[in-house]
């Protein structure tokens, strides 16, 4: 007896259904990472940062507040927020996931759960000291294990994708940042074990923390932004092609700076960071006239301005590092340098690029309110300018009234970051997904979002 062949229309519908459910699974995973990152950024990260700064300003001394609380804030921002964003976007680039392979999705969700639990546990432990001698190492193990799952998935993909082909320079930069991230997590684990066995509070000691922060800033955060800038900014801003050799030399100079700083020769290392930043800007051609129209569809037209301004903050951060070696006697110039980097460079970049790409990645959505994007970036820039300037003036005792501006600067930055979180949450919740009409993955190829 002859079996009836499926009607072409019904097999097309079935295929479409498979693509649709794969896209939905994909968007859910990305939104889980991004929403978790946003929660870390607003509550454990920024609120605690503002609280710390209000305390410091009230007492007119940074030494008067708990280092464990300062470190809880920094950890929530860098690992809870930035780390979650990087992993979410990293998983997005893995073909096994795109192909809808169940085991790969399972791994990605396990990674998300372990990462979020580890970062949350660290915050609770630092702030409430709950069973901290046990929980501090546990949190670091969870974070490292989650990262290893991520690293394995991404590096398998890189190997498959590259085959015999030579890797593009931006991939080398991202690899260097990923290795920096891995080393940072290992250092974090070592630091947690040391503190759990030897110290009387859950805070890293000052000397260890300064080296750890150098690796965090220049070994992990900065090269990630350079790598993604090299991949995306040519298209987004219409820039001339990247000068690959100069970009790789920027990475090399930066690595030398890190090695010097970790070896204790900070006074020389800071010059390498300044030189590496100048080289990266020259390589990316950030301030050269664009050759194509910037791609600002769906976002605020100020987008290219803020991306360039973020690179101004990078130079300010590196320059303040050089100044700190010479003049800092209060922690104020170092603090200003770190803030110029974490808020001025990293956060402005994430707030700009995040609102440009994430709505499309999360199910072909359109950004909820482009004007709110501008408001967020403006507030962040104004707040950061006040904070960086006044931190130097107040902590160094150059201008006493600058202490009164610092709380205001924190509230302005808080408003900027909250506006960003609202805009993304509004996009995920209120904007319809267009992936149903046209399979999302088919449309998102590289940067054409």
The residue ranges that bind ligand HEM (CB under 6 A) are 46, 49-50, 52-53, 56, 62, 70-71, 73-74, 77-78, 82, 209, 213, 335, 338-339, 342-343, 346-347, 410, 413-414
CB of 67 to ligand HEM, least distance (A): 7
CB of 85 to ligand HEM, least distance (A): 10
Q: Which two tokens stand for residue 76?
A: 């929530």
Q: Which two tokens stand for residue 124?
A: 């609770």
CB of 307 to ligand HEM, least distance (A): 17
Taking the least distance from each CB to ligand HEM, the nearer of 135 and 222 is 222
Taking the least distance from each CB to ligand HEM, the nearer of 47 and 305 is 47
- Alpha carbons within 13 A on the beta-carbon side of 104: 20
The dihedral through the CA atoms of 182, 53, 316, 308 has a sign that is positive
d(CA 16, CA 10): 10
CB of 446 to ligand HEM, least distance (A): 27
Taking the least distance from each CB to ligand HEM, the nearer of 91 and 313 is 313
Q: How many residues belong to the chain? A: 449
Helix runs in 163-220, H state only: 169-198, 206-214
Taking the least distance from each CB to ligand HEM, the nearer of 24 and 209 is 209
CB of 72 to ligand HEM, least distance (A): 9
∠ CA 329-334-337, rounded to 5°: 145
CB of 314 to ligand HEM, least distance (A): 14
Taking the least distance from each CB to ligand HEM, the nearer of 46 and 277 is 46
Q: Which two tokens stand for residue 254?
A: 């930066």
By C-alpha distance, which of 111, 109, 252, 107 is closest to 169? 252
The alpha carbon torsion through 161, 163, 168, 170 (nearest 10 deg) reads 40
Taking the least distance from each CB to ligand HEM, the nearer of 362 and 394 is 394
């Amino acid at each position: 007896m002859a079996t009836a062949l499926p009607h072409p229309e019904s097999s097309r519908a079935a295929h479409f259904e498979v693509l649709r459910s794969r896209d939905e699974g994909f968007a859910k995973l990305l939104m889980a990472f991004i929403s978790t990152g946003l929660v870390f950024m607003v509550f454990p990260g920024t609120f605690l940062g503002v609280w710390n700064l209000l305390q410091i300003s009230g007492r007119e001394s940074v030494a008067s507040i708990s280092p464990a609380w300062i470190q809880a804030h920094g950890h929530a921002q860098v690992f809870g927020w930035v780390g979650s964003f990087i992993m979410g976007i990293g998983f997005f680039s893995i073909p096994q996931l795109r192909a809808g392979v169940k085991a790969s999705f399972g791994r990605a969700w396990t990674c998300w759960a372990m990462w979020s639990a580890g970062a949350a546990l660290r915050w609770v432990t630092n702030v409430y000291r709950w069973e901290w001698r046990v929980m501090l190492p546990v949190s670091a193990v969870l974070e490292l294990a989650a990262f290893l799952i991520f690293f394995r998935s991404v590096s398998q993909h890189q190997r498959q994708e590259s085959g015999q082909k030579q890797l593009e320079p931006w991939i080398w930069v991202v690899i260097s940042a990923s290795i920096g991230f891995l080393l940072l997590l290992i250092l974090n684990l070592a630091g947690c074990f040391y503190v759990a066995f030897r110290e009387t509070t859950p805070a890293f000691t000052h000397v260890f923390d300064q080296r750890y922060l150098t690796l965090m800033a220049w070994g992990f955060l900065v090269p990630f932004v350079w790598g993604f800038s090299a991949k995306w900014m040519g298209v987004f801003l219409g820039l001339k092609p990247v000068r690959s050799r100069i970009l790789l030399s920027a990475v090399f100079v930066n690595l030398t700076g890190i090695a010097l700083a970790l070896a204790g020769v900070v006074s020389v290392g800071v010059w390498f960071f300044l030189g590496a930043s100048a080289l990266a800007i020259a390589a990316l051609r950030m301030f050269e006239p664009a050759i194509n129209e910037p791609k600002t569809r769906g976002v605020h037209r100020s987008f290219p301005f803020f991306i360039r301004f973020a690179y101004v903050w990078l130079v300010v951060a590196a320059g303040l590092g050089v100044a700190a070696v010479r003049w800092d006697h209060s922690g104020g110039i170092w603090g200003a340098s770190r803030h110029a980097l974490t808020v001025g460079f990293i956060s402005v970049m994430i707030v700009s690029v995040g609102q440009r790409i994430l709505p499309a990645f999360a199910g072909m959505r359109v950004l909820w309110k482009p004007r709110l994007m501008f408001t967020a970036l403006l507030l962040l820039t104004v707040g950061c300018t006040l904070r960086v300037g006044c931190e130097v003036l107040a902590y160094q005792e150059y201008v006493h009234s600058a202490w009164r501006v610092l709380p205001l600067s924190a509230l302005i930055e808080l408003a900027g970051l909250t506006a960003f979180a609202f805009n993304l949450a509004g996009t995920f919740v209120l904007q319809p997904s267009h992936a149903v009409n046209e399979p999302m993955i088919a449309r998102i190829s590289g940067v054409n979002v």
